[in-house]
Structure 1
Amino acid sequence: MPMNSKWIKNLCLQMCLLLLATDLQAQSVSRMSVEISFEKGGITGVCLLRKEEQTVSGTIMNEFGIKVFDFVYYRQRDKLRLFNVIEMLDKWYIRRVVRRDLKQVLPHLPPVSEYRYENRKRHIHYLFTPLPTTEDEATE
């Protein structure tokens, strides 16, 4: 009895979806509220982090859903890269300060309660607070 090609394609698709779902569950995704305050202003919003074996990748968005920046932290090399930085922060000196500060913060995230970091030289304060899990996340 010859195998039906549609049946084989369907089986392959189901196996791929199962592997993808298993991989997504293995990744650690955290959601936190973030406040970055400095002398002349500040940024408040949400930080999404995904921890993997060698990297921590994430994004920070404000309350309106506008992306402030994305980042990837390479644990083994202790390097951090910023991507898609919002225009008002996209200056080499601001990027350098944010990159150095986040390298100090990321090993401590996600916090159990809240995590504060202060750059005393530049008078920048960072506050990361975990967001409560929703019912949808708890049932997965």
Structure 2
Amino acid sequence: MDARITAVLHECSRASGEERISFPEVVAALAAAGVERYHTDLVRGETTYYLPDGATERVETNPAALPPAMDFTAKGVESAVRAIQAGAIRYRGFCEQVLRAGCVGWTVSITGRRAVYYGRSGDSHTEWFPGAA
């Protein structure tokens, strides 16, 4: 993988964790770097980025500040999404809210313009990018 792309991936992860960048800014930077999708595992504290040619890059992030709830609630995830979109919370608050809603991770498809949040038992909730569905 090109060193410039790797640098973008690491900076997006770091900037998210430090709350210096918004989700739309992350998506724009990753799309410009050629990333088609990424997967964030909140429990392990890592994000894996995928390029169309099969190349991947795993970046360590901060592990979850609290254990995820046992039961997944799509309404809780949706509430966290709406709160961060409205600017009522930032990234760390978002992660805490989705953990309380039983979310253990998500996959973002940049090409598919959606994020799929999932819980321990495989329950999931899909959020389309604004204007995508």
TM-score above 0.5, yes or no: no
TM-score (norm 1): 0.29
Structure having the higher Rg: 1
Q: Larger strand proportion, structure 1 or 2?
A: 1
